[in-house]
Amino acid sequence: MTASRYAIDPGEWPALPIVGRDQLFPVRRVYCVGRNYADHAREMGASGREAPFFFQKPADAIVPPGGAVPYPPLTANLHHEVEWVLAIGAEGADLGAAEAASLVFGMAVGIDLTRRDLQATAREAGRPWEIGKAFDHSAPCSAIKPLNGAPLPGKGRISLSVNDALRQDGDLSQMIWNASEVLQQLSKAFRLMPGDLIFTGTPSGVGPLEKGDRVDAAIEGVAELSFSVF
C-alpha cells in the first residue's frame, strides 16, 4: 500500500461546471474589484474614476449553481452584490488590455455576499476586510459560459431580484473600468493563472438578505443564477 503524500486529506478542489461540457473549471483564486460602477461607488461614499482596487475571497467560498447559502454567523446585515465574473484560462502578467482580455476562458454571473456591518467596522478601524468579504459560502456563482473565441461583451443587462422584487438593475457598459482594463490592472499586481476568477464589480442597489430569501441574478447573454438563503 502506497502512503499518501499528504498528512491530511486535502479534499476536493473547488470547481464550477462549464456550460455544454462534462468538464469542471477548477477555481484557483477569486479576485474582486471594488466600486467599479459609478452609482454603486456613490452609494458607498466614493466618486469619480478612481483607480481600481482589489481584494480576494478564498476559492472554497465559491458556491456552485444549485447550492443553498447559509446565513453567515456574526452579522446582522448580509448584503448581495451581483457581478459579472471572468474565468481565466491562460497565464500572463503585466499585460496590455488586449493581451489581458485574451486570457479569458469564459464568463459567469456571481454574487459577492458581504457582511456589511463587519466590513464597515473593519474599515473604520483601518483593518483588513476579510471578515466582511472572505467568509464561507460568500461567492455563489453560475456555471462558466465559454467564450469560444468570441470577444468580451461591452454591454448587457445585469440584474438581481430578491423574492421577485428587483433590487439591482444596471448594464455592463456602466463599468468605470471595463473588463479589459480591469484585467490589465490586475495583471500588474498579480500573475494571472488558469483557474482564476475575477468578480468585476456591482451596480447600485445593494441591500440586505434574510433567512428564507430567494435570490435570482442574471446577466444578459451570459448566465442566470438562483439560490435561497437558509
- The pTM is what? 0.95
Q: Is residue 5 part of a domain?
A: no
| Total residues found in the chain within this entry | 230
Give the neighbor-by-neighbor strand order of the sheet with 53-57: 53-57, 30-34, 197-199, 82-88, 104-111, 145-146
CATH number of the domain bearing residue 91: 3.90.850.10
Q: Is residue 4 part of a domain?
A: no
Domain that holds residue 41: 15-228
Report the SS3 class of residue 45: coil
Give percent of the chain with pLDDT exceeding 90: 90
Report the SS3 class of residue 218: strand
**pLDDT at position 2, please?**
67
Per-residue pLDDT for 49 more than 90?
no
**CA dist list (Å): 19 to 150, 174, 218:** 15, 26, 15
Q: Is residue 3 part of a domain?
A: no
Q: Is residue 138 part of a domain?
A: yes
Using one digit for the tens of pLDDT, what is the confidence trace for 168-205? 999 999 999 999 999 999 999 999 999 999 999 999 99
Domains in the chain, number: 1
Query: What would the grid cell of residue 109 be?
Result: 454571473
d(CA 172, CA 204): 12
Q: Are 160 and 144 in contact (CB under 8 A)?
A: no
Helix (H) or strand (E) holding 228: strand 223-228
